[in-house]
Amino acid sequence: MNLVIADDESLVRAALTSMIKEMEAAWSIAGEAANGEELLELVAEHKPDIAIVDLRMPKMDGLEAIRAGKALSPLTKWIILSGFSDFAYAQQALKLGVSDYLLKPVAQAELEKTLLNLYKDNKEYIRLLNQQFENHLSALCNGLASLRYEERDSMFFRGRFAGWIFVLDAPHPANRVSALECEFYEELRRIADRHLAYGMNAAVLSLPSGKIAAAAAWDPEKGRSGEESVSRFFGKVKEAAEKRRNPEMMMTVLKTDECAGFEAMNRQLQQLMQWTELRALFGIGRHVAYSEAARVAGDPEKLKASRLLSAIAEHVQNRMHLQVQHAIGSLETLLEASPLAEQPCIRQAARLFIRYTIGLELPGQAPASETIEALRKFGERLLREVKEPVPANLADQVIQYIEQRYMDDIGIGQIAGELNVSAAYLSTLFHKKTGVTFVKYLTRIRMYKAKELLLNTNLQIKQVAERVGYYSTRHFTKLFTEMFGCYPSEIRKIEQNRFPRE
């Protein structure tokens, strides 16, 4: 999409050009004109999608230029610039079929809003705006950004939000499970891309625990179309999750309520992330609402039993066989003092969980004692098998991996697959080692590398952002500002003032 700018004041043209470039939209500025005649030459040559035109220009004013320009390029949309004193003049322009008008001095937010309204049904533009939404939402969910710089009327405050967390279980080696999760992640991204629409946003992201999540938001002030688009999006997501339910694997989905604003949804997402272990007892392979997960989590015995079953599965997957036996012993002690194992639904849920996480088939109506004995024999067999042990320095390997490939699109799930351990285990190990999550550590490395490039090279901000792994300058700028308290464009001047050259 291309546009032209016409204004007899060079400073106004420069300001508009700068604002449009900062929007990161798919706009190409075909040219600038200082008067109506120059504008018509540009319109005839480029047939722009949009022309931004000052009403008061020499040689040929804006009204005359628009009349002539509509004949030269019938599909061009016109935006006029006017002062308060030109209101009557602007009304004449609107009668000509002008799409919108802006009062001088033009604010960037107003300009961006105007362009959005003109191209709200353009798929390319919707995709671009959604990418900005997804970047910001991922940063917020991973604690890399806050809402302090966000406008109160933005989607993050006024929108309705919903989020789903996905847990894939399969009795396969960790690297195979990681590959299956990556396939699912890519399918979710394709679904999101196909179902974007004006008035809604959709995002697919990795949470601090390494779990995959999908989130969507819609603007209730723009009618029901956004909500309906979100419903269609989650409908397709549900179909994709259902396909992961077969004899080889099982997908569990934990769902937030419909929430007013991002912060309410994020609180539920962060809580659900802590409750994924509960699937061992409320039923693997189900769609579980926040309220149901909260009820199960409110039972201390169920919570503890779920965590022990999850620990057994995780230790098996990560080849930590002594820890397997320890967790089995703790589970036996719990069940001996608890009536949990007497509940048929609990026994059935536990059997399914064990079958889909470690591949152990248990008898249909086996009592707790037989289940524990079968688990113990399974663990002893693992101990006897000669297998390559898990390296002791996994966290150090992740740190080295980040140092070498921080500029690439990397994630904890991908690295866990290469190291043949689960993403959850590696995330926990890395957090214990560094005191921060993988995403925060990676972002810090990128920001310090970016600061180094800004201070020691003449690279432009866009080039610096790309060198450290960001292809959205706006997203990079937000993260940089959150970390250092100033814009990337200011860091050179700040450092020069702190350490002036003699």
Mark whether 91 and 215 lie in a shared domain.
no
What confidence category does residue 492 fall into, taking pLDDT thresholds of 50, 70 and 90? confident
Mark whether 31 and 140 lie in a shared domain.
no
Task: Decide if 149 is inside a domain.
Answer: yes
Per-residue pLDDT reduced to its tens digit, 127-146:
888 988 999 999 999 999 88
Summarize the confidence of residues 224-245 as an average pLDDT.
94
Predicted local distance difference test score (pLDDT) of residue 100: 83
Summarize the confidence of residues 7-11 as an average pLDDT.
91
CB of 48 within 8 A of CB of 30? Answer: yes
Mark whether 109 and 196 lie in a shared domain.
no
Distance CA 502, CA 260 (A): 56
Predicted local distance difference test score (pLDDT) of residue 434: 92
Summarize the confidence of residues 76-100 as an average pLDDT.
74
Task: Decide if 357 is inside a domain.
Answer: no
Predicted local distance difference test score (pLDDT) of residue 303: 93
What confidence category does residue 163 fall into, taking pLDDT thresholds of 50, 70 and 90? very high
Split into its structural domains, the chain has a count of: 3
Distance CA 78, CA 211 (A): 46
Mark whether 140 and 250 lie in a shared domain.
yes
85, 119, 153 - which closes a domain = 119
Res 204 pLDDT > 70? yes
Task: Decide if 283 is inside a domain.
Answer: no
Predicted local distance difference test score (pLDDT) of residue 390: 63
Task: Decide if 207 is inside a domain.
Answer: yes
CATH number at 65 reads 3.40.50.2300
Summarize the confidence of residues 319-331 as an average pLDDT.
88
321 versus 84: the higher-pLDDT residue is 321
Res 93 pLDDT > 90? no
Burial of 377 (0-12, 13-18, 19+ CB in 10 A): exposed
Cα dihedral angle (128, 129, 130, 132), rounded to 10 degrees?
A: 90
365 versus 200: the higher-pLDDT residue is 200
What confidence category does residue 239 fall into, taking pLDDT thresholds of 50, 70 and 90? very high
Predicted local distance difference test score (pLDDT) of residue 139: 94
Mark whether 152 and 114 lie in a shared domain.
no
Summarize the confidence of residues 333-340 as an average pLDDT.
86
Partnered with residue 103 across adjacent β-strands are 82
What is the pLDDT of the chain when averaged over all its residues?
Answer: 88
Most confidently predicted of 21-30, 238-247, 484-493: 238-247
Mark whether 99 and 17 lie in a shared domain.
yes
Give exposure, 195-208, as e/b (b: 16+ Cβ within 10 Å): bbbbbbbbbbbbbb
Predicted local distance difference test score (pLDDT) of residue 84: 58
* CA-to-CA dists, residue 265 to 141, 207, 253, 274, 297, angstroms: 10, 13, 15, 15, 18
Per-residue pLDDT reduced to its tens digit, 260-298:
999 999 999 999 999 999 999 888 999 999 999 999 999
Distance CA 214, CA 234 (A): 9
Distance CA 335, CA 341 (A): 6
Mark whether 169 and 115 lie in a shared domain.
no
What confidence category does residue 120 fall into, taking pLDDT thresholds of 50, 70 and 90? confident
Strand, coil or helix: what is 171?
coil
Strand order, beta sheet including 100-103: 28-33, 2-6, 50-54, 77-82, 100-103
What confidence category does residue 391 fall into, taking pLDDT thresholds of 50, 70 and 90? low
119, 145, 174 - which closes a domain = 119
Summarize the confidence of residues 232-247 as an average pLDDT.
95
What confidence category does residue 500 fall into, taking pLDDT thresholds of 50, 70 and 90? low
Res 90 pLDDT > 70? no
CB of 275 within 8 A of CB of 292? Answer: no
Mark whether 207 and 177 lie in a shared domain.
yes
Residue pointed to by tokens 């671009």: 128
Predicted local distance difference test score (pLDDT) of residue 388: 60
Rounded to the nearest 5°, which phi and psi values hold at 78? -115, 135
CATH number at 166 reads 3.30.70.1130
Strand, coil or helix: what is 267?
helix
Task: Decide if 300 is inside a domain.
Answer: no
Predicted local distance difference test score (pLDDT) of residue 28: 79
Predicted local distance difference test score (pLDDT) of residue 317: 84
Res 86 pLDDT > 80? no
Task: Decide if 437 is inside a domain.
Answer: yes
Mark whether 42 and 105 lie in a shared domain.
yes
Task: Decide if 302 is inside a domain.
Answer: no
CB of 328 within 8 A of CB of 372? Answer: yes
Q: 397: which residues sit within 8 A by CB, 6+ positions away?
A: 391, 419
Res 366 pLDDT > 80? no
274, 301, 328 - which closes a domain = 274
Percent of the residues in the chain that have a pLDDT greater than 90, as a whole number: 51
Distance CA 148, CA 60 (A): 46
Predicted local distance difference test score (pLDDT) of residue 382: 79
In the chain, how long is the greatest CA-to-CA distance?
Answer: 95
Res 491 pLDDT > 80? yes
Predicted local distance difference test score (pLDDT) of residue 56: 84
Res 467 pLDDT > 90? yes
CATH number at 407 reads 1.10.10.60
Res 495 pLDDT > 80? no
Q: Which of 43-47, 111-115, 429-433, 458-462 has the lowest mean pLDDT?
A: 111-115
Predicted local distance difference test score (pLDDT) of residue 498: 65
Task: Decide if 310 is inside a domain.
Answer: no
Percent of the residues in the chain that have a pLDDT greater than 70, as a whole number: 94
Predicted local distance difference test score (pLDDT) of residue 154: 86
Mark whether 176 and 223 lie in a shared domain.
yes
What tokens were used for 4? 């032209």
**Residue among 322, 333, 313, 316 at smallest CA distance from 250:** 313
Mark whether 110 and 69 lie in a shared domain.
yes
Res 195 pLDDT > 80? yes
Mark whether 186 and 152 lie in a shared domain.
yes
Range of the domain at 417: 394-498
Summarize the confidence of residues 90-111 as an average pLDDT.
79
